[in-house]
A and B are shown apart, each in its own frame.
Chain A
Amino acid sequence: MTTLTERPDRPTTVSADDPRLRDRSAARSYTVLAVLVAVLAVLPFFLDDQTETVAIRTLIFAIMAVGWNLMSGYGGMFSFGHAAFFGIGAYTGAYLLVEHGVSPWIGMVVGAVISAAAGCLIAFLCLRYKLAGSYFALATFAFAMVFLLSVQNLDVLNRTEGFNVPILSEDSWTMMQWKAGSPLYFWIPLGILAVGLIGTIAFVHSRTGQYAQAVRDDEVAAASLGIPVMRIRLITVAASCALTSLAGSFYTQYYFFVGPEQAFGSAVSVNAIVPAVIGGIGTIWGPLVGALIVGPLSEWIADVLREPPGFLSFLEGLSGLDVAVYAALLILIVLFMPKGIYGTLRDRFRS
């Protein structure tokens, strides 16, 4: 993300196949990312505790959405079950820490590896049996349900009780634990998000990423050009699942608790889908934009409901409004801005 250095004597015209053309768009993305991360990194010094909680939740949404977008946006494999991978991350970290005292950092990596493997297995089965479109979505949804139900019925994973992360008396880097409100709780997900976005940018500009998009757009044509369709798809899925899993592992550490519904519930899958769709599927920045809207939305609505202005007083104390609003937002975006907010704005600027 620090690779951009302006070259003063760049020729004014470049041929269409000049590799620098491609490099520049990647470099521009990396620059934007670097600036963005730098700006966000100082946020914890200005935010009060409650706002920071919202910001951290927004970051978790963003990581999940960026992960989901890799597979569903760039790979064209529409996942309705990303809770499975979020949950694997959350539970692997929690299980290793609580039962074996393993550092959450290691748990995070192990969780990502297991998630990627599970994702590849599921995707391989689905693709092997040629499930596409709605069928693929349903199958991933079913797998997430199977995981949820299994966890609820496995003694070794504490059934519906979940895991409580033991709270230490002092800060510990190895145990990924600091006193409440520490900026590190913000920087870690920010770091993961940065890794995810760097990965996305690199992926989009890499041969693999180009292949993945070709496969998404026309599988048969891509295969006929010699693209190894299955391998490309599985790589995409693995990256997507691993990233989502990291969000899950961090979730456990941040909230000191994980249960079956928080990890594998269908609401988790929805949380991965909605920001990406609202921001723009298949774009680098869309999921982030979507998360920045969806993340604070529920908090903002909860604020309004606590002390509603006069004309909204009938809504006081009602639960459910926040989800209703973002469900309505989802429907409107799909109907009127199928490319999402970021995608639509980008197209408008370009033309």
Chain B
Amino acid sequence: MTEPTSTAAAPEAPPDRGTLHRPSEAVVPLGVVAAVVVAIVLVYAVGDRATDLVTQSVVTGLLLGGVYALVSVGLTLIFGVLGIVNFAQGAMLTMAMYLVYEMTSSGGLPVYVAMLLAVPIMFVFGVVVQVALLNKLTLSGSHEGPLLVTLGLSLLIINVLLMIFGGRPLRVPGSVDGSVEIFGAVASYERLIAFAGALLVAAALLLFLRRTSFGMSIRAVAANAEGASLVGVDVRRIYALTFGIGAACVAVAGGLMAPFLSLTPTVGEQFTILAFVIVVLGGLGSVTGALLGGLIIGLVQTVGALYFPGTGSLILVFAVFVLVLFFRPQGIIGASS
């Protein structure tokens, strides 16, 4: 059983089936976007919060959501192609951030250059993980095995980082200072760069999946691994490279976020959880879904924080998650048939 999506109860959406957008498929995403817009308008109109505060939350939420989206794109790609829920995604993000930290603080590199160097390192790491730890389990069609291995991997990465760097929060020296005003809301350049960079990488990935022949083999394996191998696609190789790409995505995300997060070995944990929520919300395996989901969850978190301070807004995020799991487990962009 190498069918990658056989765990799912609901039919799976392979990542973006080209330009085949029947009107019925666009209804749900558009409806969701409309609902989000309406919700924001409602918050403005009857939300009983100061207007500039709401604007600030919306801007912060969107900027944050962009980076969430990038972490989730890696996760959703891995799920869509390999059928693996990667519990170590957040830990790999942390690892990438520590790589960037090490290169900036010891090597004296600017943070964005360090990020570019971290990408190939994480890519190789991802390939090695897949080849050494996961290929056997993936090919045997086990559901629990990969889940447990990535859980172990996550604990291993976090604790090795703890052993090397200790638990004290570290800061990556930023290279760009200052901020810009958008409709009266303050957005730092670092966050803007993170947002733009995340969208750029996600768009590049989408193009790569849709336009190149290698991207086509990835989509073929996602749709039907057995069929793909029959027409000459090396499934193991695709698996390894896909996991590598997923890891490279978090490397970019880690580098982009490093300037404005304080770094501890557990900093990535919350991203694992958020990325799951986003991926399920967007539709497991769908890259555009992950983008949309990321923005929505970013908004839910920051706008929700207006009403539920502290960790309270995360409850909202999970409420969304549970509702989606029950009422639309295939997610926003999931195939409806």
Chain A: interface residue total (CB-CB under 8 A):
44
Question: Which of A132, A146, A338 is B318 in contact with, Cβ under 8 Å?
Answer: A146
Question: Which of A78, A145, A324 is B156 in contact with, Cβ under 8 Å?
Answer: A324
Which chain B residues lie closer than 8 Å to A138 at the CB level? Answer: 85, 276, 280, 325
Judge whether A134 and B148 touch: CB under 8 Å. no
A330 to B83 Cα, complex, angstroms: 21
A3 to B174 Cα, complex, angstroms: 71
Given known pairs A133-B143, A145-B318, the reply for A270 and B312 (CB within 8 Å) is no
Q: Is the interface of A mostly helix, strand, loop or mixed?
A: helix
Check if B183 is an interface residue, CB within 8 A of chain A: no
Judge whether A130 and B10 touch: CB under 8 Å. yes
Stretch at the interface among A168-176, A186-194, A314-322: A314-322
Check if B213 is an interface residue, CB within 8 A of chain A: no
A1 to B329 Cα, complex, angstroms: 45
What distance in Å separates the Cβ of B92 from its nearest Cβ neighbour in chain A? 14
Interface string of A323-346 (1 = CB under 8 A from B): 110111011001100100000000
Check if A59 is an interface residue, CB within 8 A of chain B: no
Within 8 A of A (CB), among B151-191: 151-156, 158-163, 166-167
Check if B267 is an interface residue, CB within 8 A of chain A: no
Check if A152 is an interface residue, CB within 8 A of chain B: yes
Judge whether B133 and A324 touch: CB under 8 Å. no
Which chain A residues lie closer than 8 Å to B145 at the CB level? Answer: 334, 338
- The contact size tier of chain B is 35 or more
Judge whether A146 and B159 touch: CB under 8 Å. no
Given known pairs A130-B10, A142-B322, A319-B163, the reply for A150 and B152 (CB within 8 Å) is no
Judge whether A334 and B277 touch: CB under 8 Å. no
Which chain A residues lie closer than 8 Å to B208 at the CB level? Answer: none
Residues in A lying within 8 Å of B, measured CB to CB = 78, 80, 125-126, 128-135, 137-139, 141-143, 145-146, 149-150, 152-153, 266, 270, 273, 277, 281, 315, 318-321, 323-324, 326-328, 330-331, 334-335, 338
Known: A128-B326, A132-B7, A335-B136. 15 other contacts (CB 8 A): A80-B147, A133-B8, A138-B276, A142-B318, A146-B319, A153-B311, A266-B269, A273-B151, A277-B148, A323-B155, A324-B155, A324-B156, A324-B159, A324-B160, A334-B149
